Amino acid sequence: MIPYGKQNITEEDIKAVTEALKGDFLTQGPTILAFEKAFSDYIGCKYSVAVSNGTAALHLSALALGVNENSKVLTTPLTFAASANCIRYCGGQIVFSDIDEDTYLIDIPQLQKVIESHPKGTFSGIIPVDFAGRAVNLEALKDLADQHNLWILEDACHAPGGYFIDSKGIKQNCGNGKYADLAIFSFHPVKHIATGEGGMITTNDEKLYQKLLTLRTHGITRDKELFENTVDFANGTEKNQGDYPGWYMEMKELGYNYRFTDFQAALGISQLKRANQGIERRTAIAVKYYESFIGEDFIKNQSGVVEGHAYHLYVIKVKDRLGLYNYLREQNIFAQIHYIPCHLMPYYKQLGWKTGDLPVAEAYYKDCISLPMYPTLTEEEQDFVIRMIKEYYV
Ligand SMILES: *Cc1c(COP(=O)(O)O)cnc(C)c1O
């Protein structure tokens, strides 16, 4: 069977996890911080916060950015539902804005129209998604965001190792925090770096970083500097900061248990060492798909060869997509569809969204199919996939 995505676990990974299991900490230990530091170095940001999954990363980010019942937040309909759901967890409203038909990313000129067709101050933030691994031009997006005083939360789940080139010719890695307030990643097995479940939030903002650390673990802090209570409850005497007993801690706000574990962090560190190799292999697979399909009349569009693309997915748009999908399944090739537009899910329809609202994303969905794309896909397997696709159309 050939799936669309798959983890790559090596003997080295297994050794790293085994070592971690023999250590003193299964959770809340030093390996988590070591993974966070290694991840920050890889991405090129100041701070990383590891959490239990990508969805938890989105939820905590939305909380840290102050999303509440009065918030209206913009995102793309072409994403996994969690990118939008995180705003709903906090009681806010989601406004979907259509995609660009060539890049499949949120269409920035269209986004500007949506923002400007609402009264000033309607929106509080934007959640762009580096769909399929292609980096959103966050420099352009930030220009627009700054004009309207919006924060940016980059959903970079598809794009660790991806980048765009800014107007000064500098590579800007997805999640590096240069143009976004926060960015999030997932370590689900289909993503680039796999830890079973897992997620990461990256930022350059120290205040947001501190807030995320507290929110990740129940809103509790042990940092004396942050203590508010000045009375010793045991005997009613005033206390100076620093007089607190060793066990003392404070729950300052309503947080969650969205912690990551040390043995997952050990796996993450080990996986991260092969991240660049993974991108290289993904790129080679993309180039081969691209060259094999150039000029074929069943192809309407494809991901193509784009600098800085992290190739979580390789998408082709084809004639008779359903027929191709079913034919590939008969050959044990499990291509996948990314995504059914979010606004057409019954949950979002019940909130007022309907067919026709986002015509570009809906047209994309009619033709798209994501082909097998993962570093351990062999040459022979890829040749077989390409041959079966061509065979279907003769
Ligand atoms: C995978 C994914 C998520 C959610 O990550 P989980 O770790 O599965 O919770 C969010 N957004 C996008 C774009 C994703 O691909």
Give the per-residue pLDDT at 244.
79
CA angle 29, 35, 40 (to 5 degrees): 135
Dist. CA 245 → ligand 1 center (Å): 41
129 close to ligand 1 (CB < 6 Angstrom): yes
Residues 240-264 have a mean pLDDT of: 88
> For residue 227, what pLDDT is reported?
85
Terminal alpha carbon distance of the chain: 23
The mean pLDDT of 41-70, rounded to a whole number, is: 98
Per residue in 349-364, pLDDT (tens digit) is 999 999 999 999 999 9
Domain limits, CATH 3.90.1150.10, in the chain: 275-392
Average pLDDT, the chain: 96
Q: What 3-state DSSP class applies to 345?
A: coil
Q: Where are the beta strands (DSSP E) in the chain?
A: 47-51, 72-75, 93-96, 125-127, 151-155, 163-165, 171-173, 182-186, 199-203, 220-221, 250-251, 299-302, 314-318, 368-371
The residues with which 184 forms a beta bridge, in sequence order, are 155, 201
| Ligand 1 pocket check for 105: Cβ under 6 Å | no
Burial string for 129-162 (b: 16+ CB within 10 Å, else e) reads bbbbbbbbbbbebbebbeebebbbbbbbbbbbbb
Measured from the CB, is residue 83 less than 6 Å from ligand 1?
yes
Question: Two tokens at 97?
Answer: 């804005």
How confident is the model at residue 138, as a pLDDT?
A: 98
What's the pTM? 0.97
CB contact at 8 A, 16 and 266: yes
List, for residues 15-26, the tens digit of each pLDDT value: 999 999 999 999
Among 188, 256, 258, 340, name the best residue to mutate to test ligand 1's pocket (greatest count of ligand atoms within 8 A of Cβ): 188
Ligand 1 geometric centre to CA of 54 (Å): 5
Confidence of residue 236 (pLDDT cuts 50, 70, 90): low
- Which one is catalytic: 22, 171, 191, 224? 191
User: For ligand 1, is residue 199 a contact (CB within 6 Å)?
Assistant: yes
Answer whether residue 197 shows pLDDT above 90: yes
Cβ 386 vs Cβ 292: under 8 Å: yes
Query: Is the preceding omega at residue 339 within 30 degrees of 0, hence cis?
Result: yes
Band (pLDDT 50/70/90 cuts) for residue 239 is low
**Does the pLDDT of residue 106 top 70, yes or no?**
yes
Residue 231 pLDDT grade (very low, low, confident, very high; cuts 50, 70, 90): low
Which tens digits make up the pLDDT trace of 253-273?
999 999 999 999 999 999 999
The rounded Å distance from CA 46 to ligand 1 centre is 22
Count CB-CB contacts under 10 A for residue 118: 12
CA of 394 to the centre of ligand 1 (A): 37
What's residue 240's pLDDT?
60
Q: Is residue 241 pLDDT above 60, yes or no? A: no
Lowest-confidence segment of 65-69, 95-99, 249-253, 309-313 by average pLDDT: 249-253
**Is the minimum distance from the CB of 203 to ligand 1 under 6 angstroms?**
no
Mutate which of 51, 88, 130, 186 for ligand 1 pocket (most atoms within 8 A of beta carbon): 186
What is the structure's pLDDT at 252?
A: 93
Asked whether 264 lines ligand 1 (CB < 6 A), one says no
- Pick one of 3.30.420.40, 3.90.1150.10, 3.30.360.10, 3.40.50.10420 as the CATH number of 275-392: 3.90.1150.10
Confidence of residue 317 (pLDDT cuts 50, 70, 90): very high
Class of 2-219+254-272 in CATH: alpha beta
Structure tokens at 232: 């010793």
The confidence band for 298, taking pLDDT boundaries of 50, 70 and 90, is very high
What does the chain come to in residues?
Answer: 394
Question: Where do you find CATH 3.40.640.10 in the chain?
Answer: 2-219+254-272
Q: Would the CB of 47 count as within 6 Å of ligand 1?
A: no
Q: What is the residue-wise DSSP string for 64-79?
A: HTT--TT-EEEE-SSS
- What pLDDT, on a 0 to 100 scale, did the predictor assign at position 350? 98
User: 60-81 pLDDT, tens per residue?
Assistant: 999 999 999 999 999 999 999 9
Nearest CA, atom 3, ligand 1: 54
Closest CA to 44 of 116, 135, 140: 135
| Phi and psi, residue 257, nearest 5° | -105, 95
Using the predicted structure, report yes or no on whether residue 235 has a pLDDT greater than 90. no
114 has a pLDDT exceeding 60: yes
Q: Name the more confident of 187 and 247.
A: 187
Cα 278 from chain centre:
17
pLDDT, position 246: 83
For ligand 1, say whether the CB of 55 is within 6 Å of any of its atoms: yes
Q: Residue 15 catalytic? A: no
